[in-house]
Amino acid sequence: MTNAATNGRRRNPKMSEVIARELATHIVEAGLAPGSVLPTEREMIESFAVGRATIREALRLLETRNVITIRPGPGGGPVVRRPRPCDLGEALSLILQFEDASLDDVMEARRALEPMIARLAAERISDAEIEVLDETVRLIEASPEDPEVFHEQNRTFHSTLCRAAHSVVLEVFLDSLASVADGVSGGVTYSPRRYLAAARMHATIVTALRARDGAAAEQAMREHMDETRAYWHKKYRDLASRPVVWRG
Amino acid sequence: MTNAATNGRRRNPKMSEVIARELATHIVEAGLAPGSVLPTEREMIESFAVGRATIREALRLLETRNVITIRPGPGGGPVVRRPRPCDLGEALSLILQFEDASLDDVMEARRALEPMIARLAAERISDAEIEVLDETVRLIEASPEDPEVFHEQNRTFHSTLCRAAHSVVLEVFLDSLASVADGVSGGVTYSPRRYLAAARMHATIVTALRARDGAAAEQAMREHMDETRAYWHKKYRDLASRPVVWRG
């Protein structure tokens, strides 16, 4: 049984939850890739020595948590899916709807996290990753009139930086913030001048990263975030106050 | 229909998901408290003009997301629960288990977030909240030999500071980190000397907050986190490398 399952401070878990956790741990430890076929319901009933209702409840729980999908029909059954970092965005959007949070609250959290990411990345980023960042700046500068180029390169810039920080938890948090923000603000575009200004700020951050200067990278990112927020508040006040809604 | 539901970039939602979202929005907008009784399954079938299976699927989805509970038996039915910030910890622990994260990864994220919280709190904390923080320091100093006093006052210190930052998203993140960390490390105690050292660091943070000095509060919190981590790595290496396991 897992560490979490035996933690005395929690309520007694139901048998279906214990089985769900064992199956999740099995998938992780055996390194099963998405698409891997799991034993059938019948086989699980036998190997866990429990009733059909308990196995169904365990599989259902794993399905609602995106650990597996259940293929319908004859020859169907449980198949590995694996939860993804962006799945947290769904759970986050639900809680934030109940907490009356706005897009501005989401952006404030990003404003707090990104400078920390830049600081950590400065110590850990590889030369190859710095080249990727540099390329995103060049591509935006080459086509400042194209919102699609900006959005793709902006996303690559921030996700590359995030991976370079080697902090799996912060990466999951930022992924979930990005997915909540996209759900609220999706489709907004800005001017070429704005895109060039963002590229220049990105270039300043890259310079600090290249110098492995964590404090400077943090500071440059904070200025980038503050500046973006000020712009946003001036031009898109209504967007900032939009409520977060569960994406279901 | 909600903004998120009409966002063109997402797959077409199932009818049960649309209904689940409408029910969630209704609960938020009507301000229904936990325990409020929702319409029966039969009434929902009529008002949404869909079949029983669709309503059941919608209610089931809301139940797995902690929005409602379903009271069994005659006279039972859907009752409001409302998802809580700490519910994110469950979703987070699942994703982190699949990402092979350790307690150290969780603590690193906390180390990144807490200084930001201290910085924001310095601008926004009330005098009454500063008094609460002060009191936690005094209580630890008065009973440094009592781990329970330390753990309770330490929790109050960090949660009060977090609320004082008025950042709902960061609060949800820190709550979820705390619940994941508790699940992995629950029950570890330290020495009175250690508790006194923590209280002294808390006192330094309170001094910075009282001066409304964001940079100093951030720096003091960072030192507190760095120091705690160094101690931990020296004395509890095995604990730091413990894997995060889904709490189901």
Out of A47, A80, A113, a domain closes at: A80
Residues of chain B positioned with their CB less than 8 A from the CB of A87: 91, 95
Residues A112 and A212 both lie in one domain: yes
B10 has a pLDDT exceeding 90: no
Residues A27 and A97 both lie in one domain: no
pLDDT of residue A13: 77
pLDDT of residue B2: 36
Give the C-alpha separation, B193 to B133, whole Å: 20
In this prediction, residue A11 has a pLDDT band, given cuts at 50, 70 and 90, of low
Q: With CB atoms and an 8 Å threshold, state whether B21 touches A84.
A: no
Q: pLDDT, tens digit, for every residue of B30-82? A: 999 999 999 999 999 999 999 999 999 999 999 989 999 999 888 889 999 99
User: ∠ CA B217-A202-A207 to the nearest 5 degrees?
Assistant: 80
Q: pLDDT, tens digit, for every residue of A95-154? A: 999 999 999 999 989 998 999 999 999 999 999 999 999 999 999 999 999 999 999 999
> If 0-12 CB within 10 Å is exposed, 13-18 middle and 19+ buried, where does residue B163 land?
middle
Residues A165 and A203 both lie in one domain: yes
Question: What is the helix (H) or strand (E) element at residue B29, kind and residue range?
Answer: helix B15-29
* Residue A247 maps to a domain: no
pLDDT of residue B227: 92
Structural domain that includes position B49: 3-80
Q: With CB atoms and an 8 Å threshold, state whether B105 touches A242.
A: no
Fill in the amino acid letter for B48. Answer: F
Instruction: Identify whether the C-beta of residue B124 lies closer than 8 Å to the C-beta of residue B137.
Output: no
Fill in the amino acid letter for B69. Answer: T
B246 has a pLDDT exceeding 60: yes
Residues of chain A positioned with their CB less than 8 A from the CB of B113: 112-113, 116
The structure tokens 């309520």 sit at A11
pLDDT of residue B97: 94
Cβ atoms < 10 Å from Cβ of B1: 10
Give the C-alpha separation, A185 to B9, whole Å: 12
pLDDT of residue A248: 64
Residues A128 and A231 both lie in one domain: yes
User: ∠ CA B31-B32-B34 to the nearest 5 degrees?
Assistant: 130
* Residue B184 maps to a domain: yes
Mean of pLDDT over chain B: 90
Q: pLDDT, tens digit, for every residue of B174-193? A: 999 988 988 777 667 889 99
In this prediction, residue A182 has a pLDDT band, given cuts at 50, 70 and 90, of confident
Is this prediction's ipTM beyond 0.90? no
Percentage of chain B modeled with pLDDT above 70: 94
Instruction: Identify whether the C-beta of residue A223 lies closer than 8 Å to the C-beta of residue A200.
Output: no
In this prediction, residue A240 has a pLDDT band, given cuts at 50, 70 and 90, of confident
B28 has a pLDDT exceeding 50: yes
Give the C-alpha separation, A209 to A206, whole Å: 5
B239 has a pLDDT exceeding 90: no
Residue A35 falls in which region: left (phi positive, over 0), alpha (psi -120 to 50) or beta: left
Distance in Å from the first CA to the final CA of chain B: 32
In this prediction, residue B248 has a pLDDT band, given cuts at 50, 70 and 90, of low
The structure tokens 């709807």 sit at A97
Beta pairing partners, A68: A80
Q: Nearest C-alpha of chain A: how many angstroms from B41?
A: 20
In this prediction, residue B5 has a pLDDT band, given cuts at 50, 70 and 90, of very low
Q: CATH number for the domain including A31?
A: 1.10.10.10
| Reduced 3-state DSSP string for B121-146 | HHHHCCHHHHHHHHHHHHHHHHCCCC
Our measurement of the distance from residue B240's CA atom to the centroid of its chain's CA atoms, rounded to an integer in Å, reads 21
B19 has a pLDDT exceeding 90: yes
Give the C-alpha separation, B79 to B36, whole Å: 6
Give the pLDDT mean for A63-67: 91
pLDDT of residue A233: 85
In this prediction, residue B238 has a pLDDT band, given cuts at 50, 70 and 90, of confident
Domain count, chain B: 2
In this prediction, residue B8 has a pLDDT band, given cuts at 50, 70 and 90, of very low
Residues 70 to 99 of A: which have CB under 8 A from any B CB? 82-85, 87-88, 91-99
Residues A105 and A182 both lie in one domain: yes
Q: Closest Cα to residue B104, out of B34, B35, B181?
A: B181
- Both structure tokens of A180: 């909540």
pLDDT of residue A84: 85
Mean of pLDDT over chain A: 90
Q: CATH number for the domain including A212?
A: 1.20.120.530
pLDDT of residue A29: 93
Q: pLDDT, tens digit, for every residue of B203-224? A: 999 999 999 999 999 999 999 9
* Residue A217 maps to a domain: yes
* Residue B21 maps to a domain: yes
Residues B95 and B207 both lie in one domain: yes
| A108 → chain B, closest CA residue | B167
* Residue A246 maps to a domain: no
- Both structure tokens of A153: 């390169």
pLDDT of residue A117: 94
Instruction: Identify whether the C-beta of residue A188 lies closer than 8 Å to the C-beta of residue B7.
Output: no
pLDDT of residue B164: 96
Give the C-alpha separation, B96 to A25, whole Å: 12
**Lowest-confidence segment of A52-56, A83-87, A147-151 by average pLDDT:** A83-87
Give the pLDDT mean for B139-159: 94
A247 has a pLDDT exceeding 80: no
Q: With CB atoms and an 8 Å threshold, state whether B183 touches A85.
A: no
Residues 31 to 70 of A: which have CB under 8 A from any B CB? 61, 64-65, 67
Give the pLDDT mean for B96-119: 92
Give the C-alpha separation, B19 to B51, whole Å: 12
